[in-house]
Amino acid sequence: MEFTISADLPRIPNKKHWQFCVGSGHALLALRTDYVKQLKFIHDTLGIERVRFHGIFDDDMRTVCSLSELFPAPGAESFTEENFRACGLAYDNVLDAGMKPLVELSFMPKKMSRNQVDGVFYYRPCIDTPADHAAWAGYIQRFLRFLIHRYGAEEVRSWPFEVWNEPDLPVVFFSEDREAYFKLYETTARAIKAVDPQLKVGGPATSGSKWVSSFLAYCREHTVPVDFVTTHQYAGDPIGGVESTGDNLEAEGSEGGESWLERMQRMGEQLAALPDRSVLAGLRTINPDQTEATDMPNDNFRRNSAVVRRQAGELPLYYTEWNCNAGFGAYTNDTRKVAAYDVKTALDVTDNLDGSSIWCFSDIFEELHPFVQEFHGGFGLLSQSGIPKPVYYGMKLLADAPDTRLDLGPEATDGEIGIAAFAGGNETHVILFRQKMKNLDLPKEESVIRMELAEKPESVTVKRIDEEHGNPLKLWEEMGRPDYLNRAEVEDLKQRSAVESENWPFTWEDGVLTIRASLGVNDVYGFVIR
């Protein structure tokens, strides 16, 4: 593959939309010191401005309590109180890390819910609608007044308020249907604006780019405030793939004719045959990596975000979750496949949205289970102990790129091998990647980069993300896959897997710089020409 970077290419802004926000687990985790330490590292090294997490109103945050929980005496249930202290401590920690929260208003305090329906996750959030919408509105208003008193109106006005998370996924995140969510959004948005009209609220926070058109139509029809649009997109989704069909984006999943009973029987047989009896091994059997199991396109995010961009109109559009795999525990989450996908995708969707949030910054995460293994296929840019994964180094290449991008055209990132170039000061940064949805063992392919330069460069350096560079998973496996690492072992893994600059050979003749590189599947190289 050959690429030419001419001297007269148009120059466009390098929109680092992914620095808008990053995802994390649920609110209680923000009270942990290791969480805060890693969050600050992500902010300081990648420049990410906000963090978003679930469950600020989960019962483990103790925002609504009653005397009956202390003493089950007759009449004790009527003695209740609200307590937003833990919420404030979580947001204190976010601010102390140099970031701001993107406030996801979720989930429902069980004592305020209609049917006390629990979600499926480890921490059992209540995913039900409110029993009394007026009571919910009052609760939201008291929460906002708490925030304004603690942080000041000007600060809180800079926090986007997003209503709920993926209400289109029954059983997982919401107990009711679309119309019930629209009603919940309406109640919440009106309550927010009643406290301060300058606070910003949006939704529908759906999976797979869904519901945006109907959500905005509801808001127009009922004159409901909406300041921004949010939705999510993953390339591989175990709940159902997404096909873009014009303005009707809906999940299309099937079991290929297999009944639920047949599926459970098949899973039982597979589990019984496993020699490894760990929870992780069982999870990977029940929920295999969809990006490896099927032939999955790598451009769903680009195509669907273009449709949603049209649907959102002039409103800011934020993708508040995105990544390669939607399935927690996938082995490839710890590999450079996610680095290649996230680098390519971040470049592909830049014109379609105003901000985005990779899911998520750390494997300090408990949706399914607090896994014992250091590398267990978590979503994080960092492992549980804060060891940077390949995807972290991929985003670091994008973070370090200058703010001006050389317009190579959309075809530059369309193929299996893609390229992007950036210029600033006396440097040109070139990111070269080879991205495939399956980690196939294929021969390396040579790429040639030719760039017009008036003078011979002083140096060309490269940072490589490949089998031997930026690969802590491989080093951990060579250690025997230990479940627990002491501090010395963590620091050793960080140092040995760090992506460092190396001098790279080049030629310069007749005003043309030539760089050659052979890339394996899902390798990412970042060149700096000075």
Q: Would you say 481 and 490 are in contact if contact means Cβ atoms under 8 Å apart?
A: no
Q: How far apart are CA 95 and CA 111, in angstroms?
A: 30
Q: How far apart are CA 214 and CA 301, in angstroms?
A: 20
Q: Which two tokens stand for residue 219?
A: 């808001």
Between strands 460-465 and 502-503, the pairing is antiparallel
Query: Which are the contacts of 61, defined by CB distance < 8 A and separation ≥ 6?
Result: 27, 28, 55, 86, 87, 90
**Which residue has 């406030």 as its token pair?**
103
Q: How far apart are CA 103 and CA 50, in angstroms?
A: 10
The Cβ of residue 506 has, within 10 Å, a number of other Cβ atoms equal to 17
For the chain, what's the residue count?
Answer: 530
Torsion from C-alpha of 399, 230, 368, 474, nearest 10 degrees: -20
**Which residue has 């005496």 as its token pair?**
73
Q: Starting at the earlier edge strand, list the strands of the sheet with 427-434.
A: 11-13, 404-406, 417-424, 427-434, 524-529, 460-465, 502-503
Annotated catalytic, 179? no
- Out of 104, 162, 166, 292, the active site residue is 166
Annotated catalytic, 321? yes
- Out of 186, 321, 367, 374, the active site residue is 321
Distance of CA 60 to the CA centre of its chain: 23
DSSP 371: -
Q: How far apart are CA 30 and CA 100, in angstroms?
A: 13
User: Which residues, in sequence order, are bridge partners of residue 448?
Assistant: 2, 516
Distance of CA 487 to the CA centre of its chain: 27
Query: Which are the contacts of 426, defined by CB distance < 8 A and separation ≥ 6?
Result: 530
* Residues classed as catalytic: 166, 321
